[in-house]
Amino acid sequence: MNTQDAGHHEAAVAALADNNFVVAGNEYTRAGWRVLADPRPEIETFDVDDRGWVGEGLAHLVVAAVAYRVAGRNARGTRRAIAGVAEAKELAGVAANPGQRACLLEFVGDFRAAGGLDGAADAYDDAADAYRAAGAEIEDPQTRATTPLFQAAVVPLKQVARGPANGEIAIKWEDIHGTDPSDPGAFLAARASYKRQRFPSLIERVIADGDLAAPRGTTEYDTDHHQCPVCGSTDVNWVDNNVLCLRCSAPTEEQ
């Protein structure tokens, strides 16, 4: 992470590793509000700069809502999502870049899906329409899609998808974007359409499983220095200062 989350993201990941999803939701919430309040030293509160660093704060809040629902704290997850919808809409209202405005509307769909709120499909449709309308003003959609705002908007989707995929990368960059970057609107609108199809069902899957994987960080396969005490895997996932099993996200033991 490149934003100032005061260590709460690291604490959230540690809580996921301990299967303490309420604490994880709390820490993700703290991380989200901390980043939104003060993303980086050079960025004002609630300022959508050209890179869109506030997106990392929104992403933390999306994951917080999912973590609460995995823990059975549905009311808290719903409240977190309602607040996130309001925040994303406010930021969309002040964003000067039309592509960023569409991405922030994409976050509205994420929050509705994460909190089990009505209207997720409609929100994603609105985001797709906004991308198409902004197409003529987006010069390089591939570069725009790699900025912090757009990357942050994919983080919760990828994290939720990891658990059902045995810890692997289940959703790749090319999966969520269109095939023709010469049509910027359609290229980016594919993000919202893909999420509309996949994100709600993936969230329901991890809720049913009662488990939310840690995000994927730096990985190493078939190590001779760490082994998971839970599943026995020697595949390792480093996230912040947490050394976790790539497969089940449990803390690994050094051999």
Residue 152: pLDDT band with limits 50, 70, 90: very high
Decide: 109 and 85 in contact? Cβ < 8 Å: no
Cα atoms in the Cβ-side hemisphere of radius 13 Å centred on 69: 28
C-beta atoms surrounding 18 within 10 Å: 12
pLDDT, one tens digit per residue, over 125-149 is 999 999 999 999 998 999 999 999 9
Nearest-angstrom CA–CA distance, 144 and 184: 10
Give percent of the chain with pLDDT exceeding 90.
96
What's the confidence (pLDDT) of residue 255? 85
pTM higher than 0.95, yes or no? yes
- Tell me the one-letter amino acid at 162: R
pLDDT, one tens digit per residue, over 227-254 is 999 999 999 999 999 999 999 999 998 8
| 3-state helix vs strand vs coil in the chain, percent to 5 | 60, 5, 35
**Is 90 exceeded by the pLDDT of residue 2?**
no
pLDDT, one tens digit per residue, over 4-40 is 999 999 999 999 999 999 999 999 999 999 999 999 9
- Calculate the alpha carbon distances from 21 to 39, 115, 125, 133 in Å: 25, 15, 31, 39
Residue 68: its H or E element: helix 54-70
pLDDT, one tens digit per residue, over 51-86 is 999 999 999 999 999 999 999 999 999 999 999 999
- As beta bridge partners, residue 218 has 238
Give me the mean pLDDT over the 171-194 stretch: 96
What's the confidence (pLDDT) of residue 231? 96
Give me the mean pLDDT over the 189-204 stretch: 98
- Beta pairing class for 253-254 and 226-227: antiparallel
**Is 80 exceeded by the pLDDT of residue 124?**
yes
**Is 70 exceeded by the pLDDT of residue 1?**
no
**Is 90 exceeded by the pLDDT of residue 46?**
no
Average pLDDT of the chain is 97
